[in-house]
Structure 1
């Protein structure tokens, strides 16, 4: 009789049944090795050191225990109970989104604090109370200095992609933040490598951690192929275009923001649905670009190393190094965008004749073996290795996104035959109303002018107002002399341009009754006869 290995299940790891049910509802029934190894220890309150490559399931490995422990009681205003530190904005959003569905089941609030987003929104969210805070070190440090956040109640600290945070120079900020959390708290650290500054963090902030290494720090993933394509400099751009035009999602890495934008534009002109991603773009643009890539509206993404770690997009089956990375760690993390969670993928590096020795040393340090090929544009071998095909060479035009309908608060959208528009709807019109008809106008519609109101903007009516029924050439006022002077007046009334306090004038007033900077010696800003 032979023993049969029993695969672990989430319901045997100590998680709440509500979480297990939600995982099953999402089709997640069997934990990845890093999850099966670390979740029980994390739930028991032990310090955990997890070593595994990106894409191995680390987010749920630390996220589910954190949610479970934070469900016991709610956080106070501006005092989170758990802190998850990550190196990049994109990774912060990814972790937040991955955990929110499970947090909702337990009644746990998850918030994020990252650069490039509104301070006001983040401060308000912290004031309302956040149980689990996902943050980048720089923005969190800013908010703490402003008094908007206090880490004194943090009982669980998580460092995700710790090696990248150290490589990016965040070591001093990370240390300052960890010094502020509860001294008897729990620390979970996850990293692809455990050398250098990461080892110092482990020794300083972790107490006899349980170590789980499901992948060697540098290893060749069995589902990932590596290829070194030797190309001539004159052929490189054409080969890049043919590879990018392939079927499926492709991410292409370059060394600088300028290169990312330039190559992306070249691919668009060649007919490839493509966009660039780098740290020089605003957070909103980066978020929209990643959404387009995930949804398949673009098939190629040209990125700097800002996208090399922590970004998960399903279905990336090819990573292309247009420019070689500076070190073997960057090579591994770039390649980690494909062959994730058991899927297959390939990493292709384009090298010129004078780069071959550097490339071989880079691959050796990364611990991978790559097949080497000499290719030219249009070669069958290029198509066999990468799926390359000839692009259309007709510029790709991105289809416009559907517009959301806008509706006014007081009537038919954009006004009706007499009134309507923004805050309109009645005979007194609304914002821009029908613009040239009888009604409409800025909060005014009884043939008394208003914002761009009146008969064809030129008929002299009774009322006037800001750009009311004055002739097109006038700047302010109504039908009176020199910009005002009628019974209702206008902005700055009928005084000459150089006067500050004319006799008539006044803000929407002109009957020698003062108003805003009119002839009212009392200095009243608003007269009883004025409309505002």
Structure 2
């Protein structure tokens, strides 16, 4: 039996693989490793789950650790801050990039190399920090990597090994122009590895432009060929029956992935299943990276058994022990069917794939399965039937939606607990602490002369109202709280001849009998705030009537 050692893999790598319970190479690895370790350009084709990631991760780490003038023979390079990327892996989605890093990082660490992941949808600050600290291998999505290159954050002028994973999917997403611009910045003559489930849709242009006499290795035809995967097609009579079938199929005890065509449908279905006692999480493009990671972690750990996803999870999401994949909405083309189905029966494990079909979708699905190389009869299925329950097998215990909501709430970041010293924050804390409304935590000392630089009188400060009433929120001698204003019917008539409010502040007074005019009494400013109006001409002309004058005209 072929072993990794017999293929030329260093002992440090074989030990790292053994610690991950990987002891025997897969066919794609057996075929490609001799050429990739020798430095040749290689085209590798294999179905999802066939071991392509390790097929390029092993030579990438091995050759980088053994190269470079600064290498001390143990894979340790010069000071980390001076490291520039020498290995580059491009992937079409952040899920796939993250998955690749989980495979590459343990091998790189065994040889003293560093990796980092670069993708969009998150702040680039952490990525800049990792690059500044020095890395050997960059695993990136093309869009964000090009942005960082334009900003001068990263340079690829020392890259000696470039890997393109799922190149056909990058072509589908329109990334090929960006990929070409990125590869143009890498040194000519470096080793180029291209791995994909299919080698079409413009991938040949990349091959002709960047690869030198590539060796092609293929272990699978671009059709379904996994012998441990069963395919079933269930025909529902209408949409209502389909909804009930989804609930039945999702109720099993094992992990299952349900694929929908749209993000809205994925989000809605996850909520419906959770409300029906089947905890489910969603995965789609509208989620933030933190939400994606959190939902995937819950599904991977088994805390929830159902993942409802769009095609964003069809590539690059590897979760062990997924026993069932359900195509809730049939995919648009056969490659998507193969990649979706590849979430189960991975690495030699067994798995089942179910496609739910409405009568009007039957002809299109038949064409789809024919192109994918799948032969499966269309079986009429009734919700709750003995055939469906036998197919599902052991059912999981229903979970109360309220309990699930409580668990989610406990995990959510807690609000409050800030340390702001602003007046508004202190008033909010005072209210939460049960203190009187409007009474700040610094009732004493904040309303006196020391805290009021604008008034020479303590009564004019915050602690004492200008009319002599008790401050708001404090009780008077009679036990009543001081209020902002008395009731409208209890207001005393205003005497315009009286001194202005506060004893010294200037006021507007109407001299036009209620029209929109008024005269400013310049003499009233004398002594206000310690100032003087001497030498200042009196203002005249039409002025807007003051609020007291307007109220008087209305008989208030």
Provide the TM-score with structure 1 as the length reference: 0.76
Relative CO higher for 1 or 2, CA cutoff 8 Å, sep ≥ 6?
A: 2
- Whole-Å separation in 2 of the counterparts to 1:33 and 1:192: 14
2:451 maps to 1:461: no
Q: CA deviation at 1:458?
A: 5.9
Decide which of 326, 345, 349 is 1:343's aligned counterpart. Answer: 349
- Whole-Å separation in 2 of the counterparts to 1:283 and 1:228: 34
Decide which of 63, 81, 88 is 1:69's aligned counterpart. Answer: 63
Q: 1:205-354 counterparts in 2 under 5 A?
A: 205-233=210-238, 234-354=240-360
C-alpha distance 463-67 of structure 1, shift in aligned 2 (>3 A): same
Q: 1:17-96 counterparts in 2 under 5 A?
A: 17-71=11-65, 72-73=67-68, 74=77, 77=82, 79-96=84-101
**Residues 234 and 378, structure 2, Cα contact 8 Å, conserved in 1:** yes
- Whole-Å separation in 2 of the counterparts to 1:288 and 1:394: 21
In structure 2, the gaps of 5 or more residues are 69-76, 453-457, 465-501, 506-529, 531-556
Q: CA deviation at 1:459?
A: 6.6
Q: CA deviation at 1:469?
A: 11
Number of aligned residues: 444
Q: 1:340-379 counterparts in 2 under 5 A?
A: 340-379=346-385
Tell me what 1:100 maps to.
105
Q: CA deviation at 1:219?
A: 3.0
Q: CA deviation at 1:24?
A: 1.8
- Whole-Å separation in 2 of the counterparts to 1:387 and 1:331: 24
Provide the TM-score with structure 2 as the length reference: 0.73
1:54-73: CA deviations, max 9, x gaps?
11111111112111122234
1:131-167: CA deviations, max 9, x gaps?
0000001110111111111111111000111111111
Q: CA deviation at 1:78?
A: 7.5
C-alpha distance 461-375 of structure 1, shift in aligned 2 (>3 A): same
1:360-415: CA deviations, max 9, x gaps?
11000001111321110111221233448598495362424867999xxxxxxx9x
Tell me what 2:179 maps to.
174
Structure 2 counterpart SS, 1:83: strand
Q: CA deviation at 1:26?
A: 2.4
Tell me what 1:508 maps to.
none
Structure 1 counterpart SS, 2:319: coil
C-alpha distance 270-11 of structure 1, shift in aligned 2 (>3 A): same
Question: Which entry has the higher C-alpha Rg, 1 or 2?
Answer: 2
**Residues 446 and 462, structure 2, Cα contact 8 Å, conserved in 1:** no
2:169 maps to 1:164: yes
Q: CA deviation at 1:463?
A: 6.0
**Residues 77 and 126, structure 1, Cα contact 8 Å, conserved in 2:** no
- Whole-Å separation in 2 of the counterparts to 1:105 and 1:120: 27
C-alpha distance 390-46 of structure 1, shift in aligned 2 (>3 A): closer
Structure 2 counterpart SS, 1:252: strand
**Residues 461 and 469, structure 1, Cα contact 8 Å, conserved in 2:** no
Segment of structure 1 superposing worse, 229-238 or 196-205? 196-205
C-alpha distance 384-200 of structure 1, shift in aligned 2 (>3 A): farther
- Whole-Å separation in 2 of the counterparts to 1:83 and 1:480: 72
Determine which structure has the larger helix proportion and give its number.
2
1:68-97: CA deviations, max 9, x gaps?
122234487583111100011111111112
**Residues 233 and 378, structure 2, Cα contact 8 Å, conserved in 1:** yes
**Residues 39 and 61, structure 1, Cα contact 8 Å, conserved in 2:** yes
- Whole-Å separation in 2 of the counterparts to 1:422 and 1:389: 49
**Residues 123 and 148, structure 1, Cα contact 8 Å, conserved in 2:** yes
**Residues 4 and 23, structure 2, Cα contact 8 Å, conserved in 1:** yes
**Residues 258 and 306, structure 2, Cα contact 8 Å, conserved in 1:** yes
**Residues 243 and 388, structure 1, Cα contact 8 Å, conserved in 2:** no
Tell me what 2:521 maps to.
none
Tell me what 2:474 maps to.
none
- Whole-Å separation in 1 of the counterparts to 2:391 and 2:412: 43
Q: CA deviation at 1:318?
A: 0.6
Q: CA deviation at 1:335?
A: 0.4
**Residues 28 and 50, structure 2, Cα contact 8 Å, conserved in 1:** yes
C-alpha distance 51-405 of structure 1, shift in aligned 2 (>3 A): closer
Decide which of 183, 187, 196 is 2:188's aligned counterpart. Answer: 183
Tell me what 1:15 maps to.
9
C-alpha distance 146-384 of structure 1, shift in aligned 2 (>3 A): same
In structure 1, the gaps of 5 or more residues are 1-6, 407-413, 415-420, 424-430, 437-451, 471-478, 486-493, 497-511, 513-532
Structure 2 counterpart SS, 1:54: coil
**Residues 163 and 193, structure 2, Cα contact 8 Å, conserved in 1:** yes
2:123 maps to 1:129: no
